[in-house]
Amino acid sequence: MTDLPTAPATPAEAAVPRRRPGVRVRVSGTDRVLLFLMVAIPLVMVVLWVWLPAIASVALSFARWTGVGGLDTIEWIGTENYKNVFTNYPPFAPALRHNVIWLVFLFVLPTLFGILLAVLLDRELRGTRFYQTAMFLPVVLSLALIGFIWQLMYSRDQGLLNAVLGTQIDWYGDSNVNLWAVLVAASWKHAGYIMLLYLAGLKGVDPTLREAAAVDGASQVRTFFSVVLPVMRPINIIVIVVTVIESLRAFDIVWVINKGTNGLELISTLVTSNVVGEASRIGFGSALATIMLVISLVFITIFLSTVMREGRR
């Protein structure tokens, strides 16, 4: 998961000059150089390590290249890689389907469950610390480790699940069930994460809003849907974007289990296999990466523009 900025506060403020008009702050020459470097060095880093490779991925997606020779061995072949991805690459359709299933599953079960728990735990329960701690525990574990921990449940011979159910299912290996088994394990973490974000948001809701609704005779359910939910708009958007990006980025847990094969194909694992595997197909892998890039940029743009609009209010 997990390294998503959950962050709308107020970037838009930056655009609004804070100083009173007329009062000009004089910045000395040395300070000017320092300020420039303070922005330039991190900026160069982020451009070199993130944005330039992203652009290069797009460019390479129109090329055929083994990656062995120099740049002059690149052969430009137009959209052929994309044609191949869609028509001539059997794992692509399942991978896309699995990513969509991942998204829908995460959204319908752990996301909504996390929100429900946040709402329940926000109701002045005794021992709320214990409940929060329990839900929150998986959030600090890596998804790779979570794959391992759940193996103790899912193993065919030694797993708890088969022992309890009396079945002989290889939960991680059987391509009919392994995606669902993995999704349950991933949900274990995701629900806690969403609960945490939502609880923080709920704590920021003005209590007088709810009191007023209660005085007006609204039920608690009604209050939530017509008063709290609209006020929580920024958090709702964050939660949706977090879920989308998480589903697109899903990789670690599947890679530790079987490197994304046999029922666990994802776009992220296809990209990786095409590069680090034996047959390094740079152009083809880049076409897959570009498809990911375009999908994620759509959501990142929605996210940033919403966040900045919220901040401007």
Partner 1 sequence: MSSATVTSSPATPATAVQPRRRPLTAGRVVLYVFVTLTALAWLFPVVWALFNSFRDYDYTSANGYVSFGGFTFQNYTDAWQQGEFTRHFLNSLIITVPAVLLTLFLASCVAFVVARYSFRFNLVLLGLFTAANLLPQQTLLIPLYRAYREIPLPLWMSDSGQLLDSYWGLILVNVAFQTGFCTFVLSNYMKALPHEMFEAARVDGAGVPTQFFRITLPLCRPALAALATVQVTWIYNEFFWATVLMQSGDKFPITSSLSNLRGQFFTDYNLLSAGSVIIAIPVLVIFFLLQKQFVAGLTLGSTKG
Closest residue by Cα to residue 79 from 282, 301, 283: 283
Tell me how far, at minimum, the Cβ of 266 lies from partner 1, in Å.
Answer: 9
Which phi-psi region, left, alpha or beta, contains residue 166 (left: φ > 0; alpha: ψ -120 to 50)? left
| Cβ proximity to partner 1, 66 vs 79, nearer residue | 66
Tell me how far, at minimum, the Cβ of 88 lies from partner 1, in Å.
Answer: 20
Tell me how far, at minimum, the Cβ of 22 lies from partner 1, in Å.
Answer: 14
Q: How far apart are the first and last CA of the chain?
A: 30
* Alpha-helix runs per DSSP H in 107-232: 112-121, 128-136, 143-154, 160-165, 178-203, 207-215, 220-223, 229-231
| Cβ proximity to partner 1, 100 vs 204, nearer residue | 204
Rounded distance, CA 199 to CA 118, Å? 5
Question: 192 with 137: CB under 8 angstroms?
Answer: yes
Dihedral (CA of 10, 14, 15, 16) sign:
positive
| Cβ proximity to partner 1, 13 vs 174, nearer residue | 13
Dihedral (CA of 260, 265, 266, 269) sign:
positive
Query: Tokens at residue 145, please?
Result: 């480790």
Rounded distance, CA 67 to CA 51, Å? 20
| Cβ proximity to partner 1, 108 vs 152, nearer residue | 152
| Cβ proximity to partner 1, 101 vs 308, nearer residue | 308
Tell me how far, at minimum, the Cβ of 81 lies from partner 1, in Å.
Answer: 12
Tell me how far, at minimum, the Cβ of 26 lies from partner 1, in Å.
Answer: 9
| Cβ proximity to partner 1, 54 vs 177, nearer residue | 54
Tell me how far, at minimum, the Cβ of 263 lies from partner 1, in Å.
Answer: 18
